[in-house]
Chain A
Amino acid sequence: MSETTATTTAAPMFEIENLHANIEDKEILKGVNLTIRKGEIHAMMGPNGSGKSTLAYVLAGHPSYEVTEGVIRFNGEDILEMAPDERARKGVFLAFQYPTVIPGVSMANFLRMAVTSVRNARADAAAADGGEAKRMAPREFRRLMREKMALLKMDDSFATRYLNEGFSGGEKKRAEILQMALLEPSMAILDETDSGLDIDALRVVSEGVNALAGPEMGILLITHYQRLLDHIKPDRVHIMMDGRIVQSAGPELALELEAHGYEGLRARFAPDLSPVVAAERA
């Protein structure tokens, strides 16, 4: 409802129009509109339960959510009917708030399968467009993995561990960014990647994200707190409440939020939802 035209003329990458989504017949998203262009970093803020994580899951194609209305286009293509793996191969990446532990699956094996399927799909798409198909060789994969692990200051032994098993909160988040670095998505959704990180880990993860960001990539940062935005500078900040974006503005909006809290914003932008306003009126 309040997405303003970006200052650049870059093509829209993610176009979300009037998105409604349910889980178990309960409506969580109630008409989300958002456009993210190439090279843009958007921050999505809002109180607990406002629908931020649901938006992330719906964009990635989680099967438990049912989209009842609206459109999601990615590079001009409707992706609503696509399975999550197909979306990932098209370049959508979700960094999970709570990465899943999968026992018995080694990190290295998992990463090789993921990287092979995503990069080979990309190479095949490039070849179909008349470009060169560059499939990845195993040696190249190992070199790339070592390089990206160094970037995120991760120990070598990490590759032999089972997927997220016994990882600390910080290690899990770092592992998510490692996957992002290896898959090189064109659109990354980071769902509360800052939660559970101490200051040092936050810096390493932010540096990792900043190193990947660029003119070809769109990023949607979902966060509660301003502190992540001290490290990763957003172009746009949105406030989500009760399944809708109630306010969008430049980075100054995050500072305003820091100063007044969600309750202050709620009173200004969504008085219907504010228990304080409701109490005053009563």
Chain B
Amino acid sequence: MEATLTDTPRSTLIGFSRDAVEELSRRKAEPDWVLRARLAAWDLYESMPMPVRTDEEWRRTDLRGLKLDRQIPFAGLERRGVGLADLLPAGEGGLDPDVHRAGAVVQRDAATVHAEVDPALAAQGVVFADLDTAVREHPELVRRFFMTEAVPVGFGKLEALHAAFWQGGTFLYVPKGVRVELPFRAFAVATEPGASLFAHTLVVLEEGAEAFVVDAYRSETQERQAFTSGVVELILRRDAKLRYVQVQEWGRHVWSFLTERAVLADDATLNSLHVSLGSKFAKNSIGAHLRGENSLAEMLGIFFADGDQFMDHHTWQLHESPFATSDLEFKGALKGKARSVYSGMIKVEEGAQKTDAYQQNRNLVLSPTARADSIPNLEIAANDVRCTHGATVSQVEEEHLFYLQARGIERSEAQKLIVEGFFRPVIDRIPVAEIQDFLQAAIAHKVGI
């Protein structure tokens, strides 16, 4: 089949296959080493079994509704960018694309439609680009870091599928000692009905580098089921500092899988926030390897499920060196018939003495038909550590509603105030006004749905 400039994927490909991998790579006119890497990943995918419910991580996850063989592996490859404002219309509750930034990359379906970076930063050796561009212009960096260190290709079956079909994607490389204050913004927007989307974020901060990255995933709700499998790799060298924020607002037709791993060297600091609002089904595996001494990972999460949404968060605080600190707080609210699972693991390896690990998951259940499960876990092989964890599932207290109502505040407004207050301590930990305002509005919107 010839590469063509017309956009006709719907008629050509249904389901994932070796042919589809080759077709994708050919249409993207990729170098041979990329195609070979994709095919190797495909072979790995085929050799691995699908997760089953006897696997601990999948025990509470029902995949029966997902029809992988009916998914379109990619779509919209040839689409070109228009203005950023056309791609991301303001006023729909999404993050504002016009905000001050160090750079922006917009992926729409399988294609990158917009990419920009502050030229002053580029002059200092900062690379911020879509992955296709990075493959062409910085192959040595991509070969070294892409699915090798943080989330290796063989991590799991869905990660191998991702490695075979990744599209678009964002690559940030900050050289030694360069500090960037403004956020790098990455958007992944899905529009093609039934098309899969494999967004990838690869961040590498060299020694002493600092950056702030915001990932936003969005789509309008559609009839036809869609599948997305994202991978986020955050690599922090010695004394690097990264603030990472991720906002998931997929439409209600999306089955979303996400695997994220951060790797922290000595004295590195990660501050992350994960916000899950959209999708029909979301399964997120979020972890930090505290590989270096004195490293610090602050991991925050906010999720809010309504209707028949299912959200599943697995977190991993992996202490592999002494004197490291991890501080995790995930908070969720549920309405309607929504269900959530939170499962958190603090794992302290032998020799990781003086570890200080904290893990907290609180859930607020707003309807009698919603359900939250919380499973905290500890696995400690060192003997001089401090690890604490806590989990709660609670409801809005009638006494709180009465108190607010007795001050003239309507019951629905009172409920909104209480839910916002529930999330407030987490919101207050993100010292970025734009993110705080966004979260406040998103939560108020969710309560009011």
Contacts and interface: CB of A to CB of B under 8 A. Distances in A.
B413 A104 contact: no
Contact of A103 (B407, B409, B422): B422
A206 B413 CA distance: 32
Contact of B407 (A62, A83, A114): A114
Interface of B: 397-400, 402-411, 413-414, 417-418, 420-425
Nearest to A182: B407
A60 B409 CA distance: 13
Interface in A159-193: 162-163, 179, 183
A102 B420 CA distance: 11
Given A93-B406, A105-B421, 15 more contacts: A61-B406, A85-B404, A85-B406, A85-B411, A88-B405, A94-B406, A96-B406, A103-B421, A105-B424, A110-B417, A113-B407, A113-B409, A114-B407, A114-B409, A121-B408
Contact of A96 (B403, B413, B418, B421): B403
Interface of A: 60-64, 83-85, 87-89, 93-94, 96, 99-100, 102-106, 109-110, 113-114, 117-118, 121, 162-163, 179, 183
B422 A104 contact: yes
A104 B405 contact: no
B408 A183 contact: yes
A64 B405 contact: no
A189 B402 CA distance: 15
B404 A110 contact: yes
B418 A99 contact: no
Contact of B408 (A63, A96, A118): A118
Contacts of B397: 100
Contacts of A103: 421-422, 424-425
Contacts of A109: 417
Contacts of B410: 85, 117
B408 A162 contact: no
A113 B353 CA distance: 49
Interface core residue of B405, B407, B414, B424 (most chain A CB under 10 Å): B407
Contact of B405 (A85, A102, A106, A110): A85
A162 B421 contact: yes
A100 B400 contact: yes
A162 B420 CA distance: 12
A88 B409 CA distance: 8
Interface core residue of B399, B404, B406, B417 (most chain A CB under 10 Å): B406
Contacts of A121: 408
B424 A104 contact: yes
Contacts of A106: 424
